[in-house]
């Protein structure tokens, strides 16, 4: 997940309802309004988040609606469900994996 996708994921979570499921699209689009991306680029970003299994997008009343499927993602290194952003998690996670590998040796 690159930095742009990650920032969009963060904004999606920030603009979800209290249950963390339905995204308030009006607030999300407002938050994304000064980003230099066009509609096609946004749908590519949303598609990538869909591939991670994090969100589901569909068209409702001719408008894009986003539903959060999971607020956590599966880290391929420690195989834990992680709530932090990938950029916050990856470095300490890889460091932990490296130390564990040393202990096991
Ligand atoms: Zn991890």
**Per-residue pLDDT reduced to its tens digit, 39-70:** 899 999 999 999 988 999 999 889 999 999 98
- Domain residue ranges in the chain: 3-68, 73-104
Distance CA 3, CA 9 (A): 10
Q: How far is the CA of 25 from the centre of ligand 1 (A)?
A: 30
CA of 44 to the centre of ligand 1 (A): 25
For residue 55, the model assigns a pLDDT of 95
39 CA → ligand 1 middle, Å:
32
Distance 77 CA to ligand 1 centre (A): 5
Q: Does the domain at residues 3-68 carry the CATH identifier 1.10.10?
A: yes
Predicted confidence at residue 83, as pLDDT, reads 86
Distance 85 CA to ligand 1 centre (A): 11
Q: What's the pTM value of the predicted model, to 2 decimals?
A: 0.76
How far are the Cα atoms of 45, 60, 85, 100 from residue 96, in angstroms, in the given order? Answer: 30, 44, 17, 6
Q: What's the CA dihedral at 61, 65, 67, 73 to 10 degrees? A: 150
Q: Quote the tokens at residue 23.
A: 């995204």
pLDDT exceeds cutoff 90 at 33:
yes
């Amino acid at each position: 997940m690159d930095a742009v996708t990650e920032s969009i994921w963060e904004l999606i979570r920030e603009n979800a309802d209290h249950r963390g499921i339905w995204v308030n699209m009006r607030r999300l689009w407002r938050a994304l309004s000064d980003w230099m991306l066009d509609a096609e680029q946004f749908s590519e970003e949303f598609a990538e988040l869909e591939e991670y299994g994090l969100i589901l997008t569909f068209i409702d009343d001719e408008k894009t609606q986003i539903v959060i499927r999971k607020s956590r993602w599966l880290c391929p290194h420690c195989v834990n469900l992680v709530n932090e952003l990938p950029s916050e998690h990856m470095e300490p996670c890889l460091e932990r994996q490296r130390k564990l590998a040393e202990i096991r040796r």
